[in-house]
């Protein structure tokens, strides 16, 4: 017997979840604006270097402004412990089985924090090139990272995550020669998915490209 297909109902539920997230993200954006806090989120596949880049960024930024960080992972508070070494306020969000951060998780994590006492908030998303793209967190600036060790084709395979970002960062550039990374092809792939997108190449380990990156953040924060 041909029963009513269930798939449309599931899609409906997902739409409602996303709509709910958008409403919360809008409220968060308004709170950030009222508090005068500049919010940056970072997304990439697992291990691309989000935490390492944040460690270096926070180490510098904490002398320039009042900065804090939220970091999402399915399990462990390893990344929060790493970021806490920079001596800025940090909170880990453990998502359990959820493969991305949602606006409600940010709202919850911010409980007890006085946003007006911050100038800049960094959010590290769960390592994933798919799910985070659908969830607005109310951030001012969203960055997608890809490391040279992942291959040049990631923008073509995961276009949505690049399309929903404001800028792309190619990380671990110190390893480019070892993995025969084709920088020109990577740029072309990013541009073909998101024409005109700003791209940074850097190594949080060697420091190469870090000045341009920090300058970009400062500029965006002032805009
Ligand atoms: N050579 C080199 N290694 C790097 C660089 N950045 C990060 N790594 C290394 O890459 C590995 C993963 O870095 P993380 O910063 O933990 O990556 P992540 O994106 O935060 O990982 P998840 O939070 O698990 O998704 C670690 O062993 C880092 O030391 C870099 O610029 N150069
Ligand atoms: Mg991390």
pLDDT digits (tens, 9 = 90+) for 127-158: 999 999 999 999 999 999 999 999 999 999 99
205 lines ligand 1 (CB under 6 A): yes
**How deeply is 215 buried, as exposed, middle or buried, from its count of CB atoms within 10 A (0-12, 13-18, 19+)?**
exposed
Predicted local confidence at residue 16, as pLDDT: 72
Atom 5 (ligand 1): residue with closest C-alpha?
A: 172
- Output the six-digit token pair for 58: 């926070």
| Surface-to-core class of residue 7, CB atoms within 10 Å of its CB (0-12 exposed, 13-18 middle, 19+ buried) | exposed
pLDDT of residue 76: 94
Scan for tokens 């950030």, then name that residue.
32
CA–CA distance, 99 with 73 (Å, rounded to integer): 8
Counting ligands in written order, which one lies closest to the CA of residue 46?
A: 1
204 lines ligand 1 (CB under 6 A): yes
Output the pLDDT for position 106: 98
End-to-end Cα spacing for the chain: 61
Q: 134, 43 in Cβ contact below 8 A?
A: no
Mean pLDDT of the chain: 94
Distance CA 155, CA 163 (A): 9
Band the pLDDT of 8: cuts 50, 70, 90: low
pLDDT of amino acid 223: 87
Atom of ligand 1 nearest to the CA of 79: 23
Residue with CA at minimum distance from ligand 1 atom 13: 49
Does 89 or 6 have the greater pLDDT score? 89
Q: Does 49 sit in the ligand 1 pocket, CB within 6 Å?
A: yes
Residue that wins the pLDDT comparison between 13 and 216: 216
The per-residue b/e assignment along 89-119, b for 16 or more CB within 10 angstroms, e otherwise, is ebbbbebeebebbbbebbbebbeebebeebb
Cα separation, 127 vs 47, in Å, equals: 7
pLDDT-derived band of residue 17, with 50, 70 and 90 as boundaries? confident
Distance separating alpha carbons of residues 144 and 155, to the nearest angstrom:
10
Is the CB–ligand 1 distance for residue 51 below 6 Å? yes
Q: What was the pLDDT predicted at 14?
A: 66
What is the model's pTM? 0.93
Residue 57 CA: distances (Å) to CA of 17, 25, 124:
33, 25, 12
pLDDT at residue 15, as a whole number: 73
Task: Please tell me the distance between residue 4's alpha carbon and the centre of ligand 2 in angstroms.
Answer: 43
* Cross-strand pairs, 54: none
Average pLDDT for 166-189: 98
Instruction: Specify the higher pLDDT residue, 8 or 139.
Output: 139
170 vs 193: CA distance, rounded Å: 15
**Per-residue pLDDT for 9 more than 80?**
no
Predicted local confidence at residue 110, as pLDDT: 97
pLDDT at 5: 55
Is the pLDDT assigned to residue 4 strictly greater than 60? no
Specify the residue with its C-alpha closest to ligand 1, atom 2.
172
Q: Is 46 exposed, middle or buried (0-12, 13-18, 19+ CB in 10 A)?
A: exposed
d(CA 78, ligand 2 centre) in Å:
8
Helix (H), strand (E) at residue 70 = strand 67-73
Distances from the Cα of 222 to the Cαs of 28, 112, 116, 219, in angstroms?
Answer: 20, 26, 16, 5
Burial of 80 (C-beta count, 10 Å sphere; 0-12/13-18/19+): buried
Residue from 41, 48, 49 whose mutation best tests the ligand 1 pocket (most atoms within 8 A of CB): 49
Among 122, 166, 125, 171, residue whose Cα is nearest residue 143: 166
């Amino acid at each position: 017997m041909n029963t009513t297909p269930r798939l449309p109902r599931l899609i409906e539920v997902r739409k409602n979840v996303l709509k709910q997230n958008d409403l919360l993200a809008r409220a968060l954006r308004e709170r950030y604006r009222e508090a005068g806090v500049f919010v940056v989120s970072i997304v990439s596949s697992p291990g691309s270097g989000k935490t390492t880049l944040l460690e270096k960024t926070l180490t510098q930024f904490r002398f320039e402004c009042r900065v804090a960080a939220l970091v999402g992972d399915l399990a462990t508070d390893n990344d929060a412990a790493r970021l806490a070494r920079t001596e800025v306020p940090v909170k880990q969000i453990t998502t359990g089985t959820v493969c991305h951060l949602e606006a409600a998780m940010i709202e919850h994590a911010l409980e007890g924090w006085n946003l007006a006492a911050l100038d800049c908030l960094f959010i590290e998303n769960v390592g994933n090139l798919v799910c985070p793209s659908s969830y607005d967190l109310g951030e001012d600036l969203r960055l997608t990272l890809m490391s040279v060790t992942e291959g040049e084709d990631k923008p073509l395979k995961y276009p949505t995550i690049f399309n929903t970002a404001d800028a792309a960062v190619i990380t671990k550039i110190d390893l480019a020669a070892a993995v025969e990374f084709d920088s020109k092809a990577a740029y072309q792939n990013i541009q073909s998915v998101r024409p005109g997108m700003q791209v940074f190449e850097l190594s949080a380990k060697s420091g190469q490209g870090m000045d341009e990156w920090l300058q970009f953040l400062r500029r965006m924060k002032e805009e």
